[in-house]
Amino acid sequence: MTVNLTPLDVCKRLIGREEVLADICSVHAKAPYHWNRAAAYRDAGDVPSARYQRVLLRHSEQHKLGLTARHLIEGAPEAEIEAILAARAAAPLMQDGPQEAA
């Protein structure tokens, strides 16, 4: 059975928890928790703004985290994200990996 992750779930797996995403996007620490719920203009789990999507993509590119534009639009199968995480774990130690909130 294929489990599909929402764009927000993909970001949390590849980049970090909601507080980390908030810091990267320069929003209140609790703002990304609201992204779990649907709103009039987006589905539950969607990253709400093209601005935030660009910031997250830029951060992922800078730190080689594996997030793609397709992940931010469609989400991804869990197996695809696990493969990215496994490849990162197998790679030589990176200078900047995923961040965890303190």
- How far apart, in Å, are the Cα atoms of 39 and each of 7, 48, 71, 81? 15, 9, 20, 26
Please determine, for residue 15, whether its predicted confidence score (pLDDT) is greater than 60.
yes
* Mean of the per-residue pLDDT values of the chain: 91
Q: Please report which confidence band the pLDDT of residue 14 belongs to, taking 50, 70 and 90 as the band edges.
A: very high
pLDDT given at position 2: 80
Q: Which amino acid is at 22?
A: A
Q: Is 26 helix (H, G, I), strand (E, B) or coil?
A: coil
Domain boundaries, the chain: 4-90
Q: Please report which confidence band the pLDDT of residue 102 belongs to, taking 50, 70 and 90 as the band edges.
A: very low
Tell me the pLDDT tens digit for each residue of 59-89.
999 999 999 999 999 999 999 999 999 999 9
